[in-house]
Amino acid sequence: MDEKTTLENIAPTVEEAISQGLAQLGLTADAVSVEVLDAGNKGLFGLGKPQVRVRLTVNPPRSAGGTLDTQPEPAPVKAPAKAPSRRAAPVERVEAEAKVPPRRQGDAPQHKVERVESMPEPVPAKEPDPQPEHDALLDHTESVISKMLHLLNLAAQVSAHYELTEHDGRRNIRVDIRGNDLSVLIGRRSETLSAFQYIASLIVGKETQQFVQLTVDVEGYRDRREKQLIQMAKRMADQVSKSGRRQTLEPMPSAERRIIHIALRDHPDVKTESTGEDPYRKVVILPKTG
């Protein structure tokens, strides 16, 4: 399990939403608590199929006996009943000593050796592992994304986590959306996904009163696209290095242009620059001079 212990899911029925959520968490029904957030209504402008939204919360881990992993409180110790006031008979303490032969005159005196029994040191009890805490910002982000998908009549699973960006080390929120038939959410050249991400960032930032940097991914699209862009950048850089002529790439959004710039910034023979205006701004790969 990751650090998150809640999951919101959207599906046509409550049973399907719960079943899909349990499949993603890899748990059985008795290991989670289910809260129905929306019992289902028509989509945006009253169109489309009704959708149900539920929240699955992972229950705290239990011990083998079925009880919560908490330390039992020690039972109160009863004071012993007072015995009748009677003076105890004195007990004589007898120490057994080994018989030794009497010391003869001139012998060196024998030293008495005391035997000390060492007591074992108590072993400190192992503290239980701390349970992951809910993160209010991640929970709110998941809720906002789930509601937006609900309005679009898209059944999907939403999961948010933190990640550090490579270029400035800032903490970014990454949202992964998984489900069926989500290509409509990506669009041509990921324009729809970029717009969805921008709107989600505005909503979360406004409702939480803080700057929020979101990266929304659908079925691992951004990871696949990044690998494709890096491979294309290296291939075009080789062509520029061999021919000595610049190459202009197709228009792409700023996030994808930045991937090209980072991939080739340490190349010994070529350099990159952007030209044009959005949404037709392009990356140009050209040979280094002198």
CATH number of the CATH domain containing 256: 3.30.1370.50
Is the pLDDT confidence value at 241 over 90? Answer: yes
Residues 50 and 158 in one domain: yes
Last residue of a domain, one of 219, 238, 266: 219
How far is the CA of 255 from the CAs of 57, 190, 222, 262, in angstroms? Answer: 34, 11, 10, 11
| Residues 281 and 149 grouped into a single domain | no
Cα distances from 66 to residues 10, 30, 60, in angstroms, run: 31, 12, 11
d(CA 230, CA 149): 30
Residue 62 DSSP label: B
First to last CA, the chain: 54
Q: Which residues pair with 248 in a beta bridge?
A: 284
**What are the beta bridge partners of residue 160?**
175
Rounded to 5°, the CA angle 280-167-219 comes to 65
Q: Is residue 219 packed enough to be buried (19+ CB in 10 Å), middle (13-18) or exposed (0-12)?
A: middle
Q: Give CA angle at 259 (258, 263), nearest 5°.
A: 115
C-alpha closest to that of 10 among 60, 57, 53: 53
Collect all residues with Cβ–Cβ distance below 8 Å to 68 and sequence separation of at least 6: 60, 62
Same domain, yes or no: 51 and 188: yes
Which tokens sit at 157? 């699973």
- The answer to whether residue 167 is domain-embedded is yes
- For residue 98, what pLDDT band results from cuts at 50, 70 and 90? very low
Helix (H) / strand (E) containing 51: strand 51-58
Domain end position, chosen among 203, 219, 235: 219
Least confident of 39-43, 109-113, 194-198, 213-217: 109-113
pLDDT band at 70 (very low <50, low <70, confident <90, very high): very low
In a domain, 262, yes or no: yes
Q: Report the alpha-carbon angle 152-10-176, nearest 5.
A: 85
Whether 196 and 222 have beta carbons less than 8 Å apart is answered as no
Q: At what angle do helices 254-264 and 221-243 cross, to 10 degrees?
A: 50
Identify any residues that bridge with 104 across adjacent strands, giving them in sequence order.
none
pLDDT per residue as tens digits for the range 259-268: 999 999 999 9
Q: What is the enclosing helix (H) or strand (E) of 35? A: strand 32-41
Say yes or no to pLDDT of 252 above 80: yes
Token code pair at residue 149: 């998908």
pLDDT-derived band at 181, boundaries 50, 70, 90: confident
- Residue 102, pLDDT score: 56
Of 186, 219, 252, at which residue does a domain stop?
219
Predicted local confidence at residue 250, as pLDDT: 92
Q: Do 194 and 233 fall within a single domain?
A: no
Please indicate, yes or no, if residue 122 is contained in any of the structural domains.
no
Both 182 and 281 in a single domain? Answer: no
Name the residue range of residue 17's domain.
Answer: 6-60+134-219
166 with 204, same domain? yes
Do 143 and 243 share a domain, yes or no? Answer: no
Say if residue 202 is in the same domain as residue 230.
no
Both 161 and 192 in one domain: the answer is yes
| Average pLDDT of the residues in 192-211 | 93
The domain total for the chain is: 2
> In this structure, are 34 and 156 located in the same domain?
yes
